[in-house]
Chain A
Amino acid sequence: MTTEFSKKLPEIMTRRSAESLLSRSGQAMTIIGVSLLALILGYSLWTLPPFSDRMVTLVSDNMAISGVENPVTAVLLNFRGYDTLLEIGVLLLAVVAVFSIAPSPALLATSPPSPMATLLLRLLLPFVVLVGGYILWVGSYAPGGAFQAGAVLAAGGILFTTVTARWHPLANKAIPFAMGAGLLIFVLVALATMMVTGNFLQYPETRAGMLILLIEAAATMSIAVILTLLFVGGEPGEISPAQGENKHTVSFNKENRSE
């Protein structure tokens, strides 16, 4: 029996399951490698020097001139606002990329909405907008801000999208503007501040709070629209009758088409 097993062992070790690309021995090696990584990282964590409070003191020292009272918003929109600018660029990039990958109009709801769903929407959506607006406003004083508000509004948008079959044509036309407004307004404000104060993204002290709110408002709208569109997975539009076939494949390499 043992000889049979030892004959089978190499086959067992290298056999691939349907689940995984790795053979059994590959899986074992991966587990060992990953555990080693965890041990090394844990050990480095243990031997970290005590955390310095340099950043905390710097932030609290400069809060008075930052224009807001919430330290996280101050860091996000003022001290390290450049990161946020690029991050909003990443969001816009993601939605353009998703549009480019999904050529056919994206499916919205396929059946007419039930009356329960319509009632739910009618009751919930105003509150969603109200809560979103409040979170945007309170971000200057307490936890909150543009991204959080955008996420809440996007939740309302997703709810709306799962129920309705198509959007108002005016909404469809406004989508590119709503998507791009966050990034464009942020960049334009940054360039304008550069003309005024001489430094990129340096707000004049008296206007800092107002500029931050302006940037956040535009960003909230953009984030909400972008997150909803990311959920939809493409440009919302009319669903053509022959939906199964994908007719929009563009091939730059004709060879692939003939295969």
Chain B
Amino acid sequence: MTVPNMYALVGVGLLCMGLYGLVMHSHLVRKILALNVSGSGVFLFLVALADQTPGPTPDPVPHAMVLTGIVVAVSATALALALACRIQQVNGTLRLSDNEPE
């Protein structure tokens, strides 16, 4: 296994771990953290891809994709956290309950 491939596998692993955490936890902040872990996994996968070029220079396009992805992930996380804060203010709890809408 080449070193770049190992990073890519770790990225895949992070994605799956994050998905498990997202589904399993009921606390909102933990869900948001799990999503961030997943996102980091995808970005790691992309960066590992960039190193797979046959020549010496890495591919700059996945780097640009990751930069864009990080900014988008930060924006989404900020929105999610603001929503979570507000939910705590209004509903008093940070755990999503399981009930269907009445």
Contact = CB atoms under 8 A, between A and B. Distances in A.
A and B held together in a complex: yes
Interface of A: 19-22, 27, 30-31, 34-35, 37-38, 41-42, 45-46, 50-51, 53, 55-56, 59-60, 71-72, 74-76, 80, 83-84, 87, 90-91, 93-95, 97-98, 101-102, 147, 227, 230-231, 233-234, 246, 249
Secondary structure at the B interface, as helix, strand, loop or mixed, is: helix
B24 A230 contact: no
Interface in B54-102: 54-55, 57-61, 63-64, 67-68, 71-72, 74-76, 78-79, 81-83, 85-86, 89-90, 96, 98
A91 B71 contact: yes
B85 A22 contact: no
B12 interface: yes
A80 B16 CA distance: 30
Given A45-B9, A50-B54, 9 more contacts: A21-B98, A27-B24, A51-B49, A53-B55, A56-B53, A56-B57, A56-B59, A93-B75, A101-B86
A233 B27 CA distance: 20
Contact of A249 (B12, B79, B90): B90
B12 A45 contact: yes
A75 B60 contact: yes
The 10 closest A-B pairs by CB, nearest first: A94-B75, A51-B52, A230-B78, A71-B60, A38-B16, A75-B64, A98-B82, A41-B12, A34-B20, A21-B26
Nearest to B63: A72
Contacts of B81: 233
A246 B16 contact: no
Contacts of B29: none
7 contacts: A22-B23, A38-B16, A72-B63, A75-B60, A75-B64, A97-B79, A101-B82
Considering residues A59, A74, A101, which has the most beta carbons from chain B within 10 angstroms of its beta carbon? A101
A233 B82 contact: yes
A94 B79 contact: yes
Contacts of A50: 52, 54
A141 to B, nearest CB: 14
